[in-house]
Amino acid sequence: MLHIVNKSATERNSLESALRMVTKGSAVLLIEDAVYAATQGSVAAAKIQSAMADVQIYALGPDLDARGMSSRVLDGVKVVDYSGFVDLVTEHNSCQSWL
Amino acid sequence: MSDMMDDMEEGGEGVVKKFMFVNRKAPHGTIYALEGLEVVLISAAFDQDVSMVFVDDGVYELIKGVNTKGIEVKDFSKTYRALEGYDIEKLYVEKASMDARGLTQDDLIVDVTVLDSAEMANLMAEQDVVISY
Amino acid sequence: MPMVEVAGKSFEVDEEGYLTNLNDWNQDIAVYLAQEEKVEMTENHWDVVNFLREYYDEYQIAPAVRVLTKAVAKKLGPEKGNNKYLYELFPYGPAKQACKIAGLPKPTGCI
């Protein structure tokens, strides 16, 4: 399962809910305002770091760039472009968007 | 902006109120940040005492080093630097909001005054009009 | 959206004749847009139009008239940075007409 989160973790609880539902081997892709959670110094960074023990976290590069956050991405988070996004969708049996 | 706004400005009476625009949203995920900025630019034509405040995710609006080419939207972070030309020079950010996001003043595209939460509360309390996005 | 052809190339404008895509702009198009506004481009007109292009590039907005006036005064001198001078160049409003000729979107707050 690929979990896609697009809301800021400092404004909504969708990242928290998604991370509660992830199982080993699933992946989480952060897009739009959700990418802030994967940046150094954010209060949400700890949630991402502890989740990384079980799942791979991805963040969409163009969304990081547009928010001036590319240089602050947490170690261990994989940055993907739009074609990487497509690859992730095809690699997983199913997707859930936590809108 | 409009020629019409300038006409209104010239014809207006000189009542100056304290207006505060509170920005609480990240820049691109919703339209609030951009629309809020446009409202401030329009309000500048009315010669009021305008403050702009950035709290919570709103502080992300002021981050420098933005590149929006990949998501194909306008980089309106540059527009905050035009505010000075519109005589809007009172920009405030809340320290707690910056801290929660690992940000310092050096990360921001414009000069701001950093206030602690109590100072921000006092500033808010002394306004005539508060408009929040 | 209406299409217009200038110097063998076609480009898109909105219902009010503003250029849809900022990057389509060139001098030929500026001259065409000026003709539509019944403005004959002189060096003084170009100064303002080019100034607006630079302002937009730097701030991503078309400035309000008074902001334009102030900024032109700073850049090109007080004899050009005043309402009278700018309205002589662009009788239907420097913000509206000069922005249109410069290929910028309709200024924010313009009704």
pLDDT in tens, C31-45: 999 999 999 999 999
Residue B10 has pLDDT above 80, yes or no: no
d(Cα A23, Cα C51) in Å, to the nearest integer? 57
| C81 touching B (Cβ < 8 Å) | no
pLDDT at B12: 54
Closest to B49 measured CA to CA, from B18, B95, B23, B24: B18
Chain A, 18-47: which have a CB under 8 Å from a chain B CB?
32-33, 36, 39-43, 45
Question: How distant is the Cα of A31 from the closest Cα of chain B, in angstroms?
Answer: 9
| C84 touching B (Cβ < 8 Å) | no
Per-domain residue ranges of chain B: 16-132
What is the maximum span of chain A, computed from C-alpha positions, in angstroms? 33
pLDDT confidence tier of residue B13, bands split at 50, 70 and 90: low
Verify whether the Cβ–Cβ distance A63 to B28 is below 8 Å: yes
Residue C108 has pLDDT above 80, yes or no: no
Say whether domain A2-98 belongs to CATH 3.30.1050.10: no
pLDDT confidence tier of residue B2, bands split at 50, 70 and 90: very low
Residue A62 has pLDDT above 70, yes or no: yes
Residue A28 has pLDDT above 90, yes or no: yes
Residue B9 has pLDDT above 70, yes or no: no
pLDDT at A65: 98
Per-domain residue ranges of chain C: 3-101
SS3 A9: coil
d(Cα C63, Cα C96) in Å, to the nearest integer? 10
pLDDT at C93: 87
Interface with A, mutate which of B67, B95, B108 (most A CBs under 10 A)? B67
What residues does C41 pair with on adjacent strands? none
Verify whether the Cβ–Cβ distance B102 to A39 is below 8 Å: yes
Residue B8 has pLDDT above 60, yes or no: no
For residue range A30-47, what is the model confidence (pLDDT) as tens digits? 999 999 999 999 999 999
What class is the B16-132 domain?
alpha beta
Interface with B, mutate which of C56, C65, C89 (most B CBs under 10 A)? C65
What residues does B113 pair with on adjacent strands? B92
Question: How distant is the Cα of B29 from the closest Cα of chain C, in angstroms?
Answer: 19
| C21 touching B (Cβ < 8 Å) | no
Average pLDDT over residues C44-65: 94
pLDDT at C95: 78
Chain A, 50-89: which have a CB under 8 Å from a chain B CB?
61-63, 65-72, 81
pLDDT at C106: 78
Give me the interface pTM, i.e. the ipTM. 0.92
pLDDT at C7: 83
Tell me if there are at least 3 CB pairs under 8 Å linking chains A and B.
Answer: yes
**Pick among 3.40.50.300, 1.10.10.370, 3.40.50.720, 1.10.3660.10: CATH of C3-101:** 1.10.10.370
For residue range B35-86, what is the model confidence (pLDDT) as tens digits? 999 999 998 888 899 999 999 999 999 999 999 999 999 999 999 999 999 9
Interface with A, mutate which of B34, B95, B101 (most A CBs under 10 A)? B101
Residue A85 φ/ψ, nearest 5 degrees: -60, -50
Average pLDDT over residues C101-110: 79
Per-domain residue ranges of chain A: 2-98
pLDDT at C44: 95
Closest to B45 measured CA to CA, from C79, C59, C107, C73: C107
Q: Report the first-to-last Cα separation within chain B, whole angstroms.
A: 22
